[in-house]
A = this chain, B = another copy of it.
Amino acid sequence: MTQVSIPDRLAYLLVSSDGSASLVLCSLETRLVRGQTDLSEIVEYTEFVDNPAAVLANVLRERDLDSGRLGIEARRLSLTDAEFLRSELPSLELVALDEEIERSQSVKERHEIDSLGYAAQSTRASILEGAEAATIGTTERELCAQIMSRVMERGGIPTFVVFGSGPRSLETHSEPIDKELTEGEIWRIDAGARFDGVFNSDLARTGVVGPPQPRQTEVLQALRATQTAGFNVVEPGRPASEVFRAVEAEFDSQGLPFFMPHVGHGLGIGLHEAPMLQPANDTPLQAGMVLCIEPMVQLPDENECYHVEDLVEVTEDGIRNLSEPQDALIQIG
């Protein structure tokens, strides 16, 4: 939680090639982290008294790892701390290992997949129950409060809530406001929470206020067909980019405008993890990856945006759905 909310309160995990690991951690977190991990070595620092990078440098010296090559997440290491380490440990070479670390995180263990599946199903069920409890005239905020309180009762801590009804659905990341749901409007939610402290959910659904028009039902079905096209090409060995291309091609077949830079992503302790389902990513899919597949269509002339997002596990012979995809617009009122 702290790593998300207070990013300046640093933690460093050091892993040796023999598999042993040390965690440099703010002393305020020790009690909690001991209950969450089986790491044998936790090296505490006192916030504002110690420089966490200096504590890390000491650990490297004590473990005779202060020369040679140190793999780092260069996209996460700050320039400040990189320069500190270079000046303190001039014989140490920092080598960017971002892609290797991302790749190793992208294949999940069974218990991680189970937790991510529980998170996805809980979020899905909460959206349906919250919508069930709402009526025409409920505000965006009231609806989202109902949904997210159900997420919390199921053990999630909300991390984000994107919601828009009517023309507001077109804003990629609009948050709920004090606006009433009005008959005929499309509404869109994309929300997530952390479960068991670390496992994210990320799920999107599209609904309508009052009975849907036939045109609205058709758009939802067409969008769902693009998601299914994505599901259908997932299998171990296929490059991630093929999922992107399958979804893109189905947008074309369905006559829907396509603008997305990606059509989905991995999910885990981060909200967007590898593999990103984007056109330049040739990472081969592997069994044990989990993927959010989330086509979205913006129809500015109709003042509407439709979005569905579901979680699947990559298995030896295709996919396993970890959330049940949407079969119809969710009707309120």
Q: Does the CB pair B261–A173 fall under 8 Å? A: no
Q: Does the CB pair B1–A160 fall under 8 Å? A: yes
Q: Does the CB pair A272–B80 fall under 8 Å? A: no
Residues of A in contact with B (beta carbons under 8 Å apart):
1-2, 4-9, 27-29, 31-32, 35, 46-49, 72, 74-83, 94, 96, 98, 141-142, 144-146, 148-150, 152-155, 157-162, 170-178, 192, 197, 261-262, 271-272, 276, 278-281
Closest to A35 in B: B171
Closest to A102 in B: B8
Q: A79-B74, A145-B150 are in contact. Are A48 and B157 (CB under 8 A)?
A: no
Q: Does the CB pair A157–B158 fall under 8 Å? A: yes
Q: Does the CB pair B141–A145 fall under 8 Å? A: no
Q: Say which residue of B32, B35, B74 sits within 8 Å of A80 (CB atoms).
A: B74
Closest Cβ of chain B to A188, distance in Å, is: 14
How far is A144 from B155 in the complex, measured between Cα atoms in Å? 10
Q: List 8 other contacts, CB 8 Å, given A47-B278, A48-B278.
A: A1-B160, A1-B175, A6-B271, A29-B173, A32-B171, A80-B98, A82-B82, A141-B152
How far is A83 from B77 in the complex, measured between Cα atoms in Å? 12
A-B contact pairs, 10 of them (CB 8 A): A1-B162, A2-B173, A4-B4, A28-B261, A29-B172, A31-B171, A48-B261, A48-B278, A48-B280, A75-B81
Closest to A277 in B: B48
Q: A48-B278, A78-B77, A152-B145 are in contact. Are A172 and B262 (CB under 8 A)?
A: no
Q: Does the CB pair A175–B150 fall under 8 Å? A: no
Q: Say which residue of B75, B192, B279 sits within 8 Å of A48 (CB atoms).
A: B279
Q: Does the CB pair B82–A32 fall under 8 Å? A: no
How far is A32 from B31 in the complex, measured between Cα atoms in Å? 40
Closest to A178 in B: B155
